[in-house]
Chain A
Amino acid sequence: MRSLIDIAQLSISEIDALLEKANDIIDNPSKYAEKCKGKKLATLFFEPSTRTRLSFEAAMYELGGNVLGFSEAQSSSSAKGESVADTAKTVSCYADIIAMRHPKEGAPLVASLNASIPVINAGDGGHNHPTQTLTDLLTIKREKGGFENITVGFCGDLKFGRTVHSLITALRRYNNVKFIFISPNELKIPEYVRESLKSDKVDFVETTDLEAVMGTLDVLYMTRVQRERFFNEEEYLRLKDSYILTPEKLENAKSDLSIMHPLPRVNEISVAIDSDPRACYFKQVLNGKYVRMALILMLLEVE
Chain B
Amino acid sequence: MTVDTIKNGIVIDHITAGLGMKIYSLLKLDELDCQVALIKNAPSKKIGKKDIIKIDSAIDLKTDVLGYIDPDVTVNIIKDGNIVEKKQIALPERLENVISCRNPRCITTTEQELPQIFKLTDKENRVYRCVYCEARAK
Q: Please list the residues of chain A having a beta carbon within 8 angstroms of any beta carbon in chain B.
A: 83-85, 102-107, 109-110, 124-127, 191-192, 195, 199, 231
Contacts and interface: CB of A to CB of B under 8 A. Distances in A.
A104 B134 contact: no
Given A109-B131, A110-B132, A195 B107 contact: no
A108 to B, nearest CB: 9
Given A105-B103, A105-B106, A195 B122 contact: yes
A103 B111 CA distance: 13
A191 B121 CA distance: 13
Interface SS of chain B: helix, strand, loop or mixed? Answer: loop
A102 B113 CA distance: 18
Interface string B107-125: 1111101100000011000
15 contacts: A83-B113, A84-B107, A84-B111, A104-B107, A105-B103, A105-B133, A106-B106, A106-B107, A106-B108, A107-B132, A110-B114, A125-B105, A191-B136, A192-B136, A231-B104
A192 B105 contact: no
A105 B113 CA distance: 16
Contacts of B129: 192
Contacts of A109: 107, 131-132
Contacts of B113: 83
A110 B107 contact: yes
Contacts of B114: 85, 110
B122 A83 contact: no
Given A83-B113, A127-B133, A191-B136, A107 B122 contact: no
B127 interface: yes
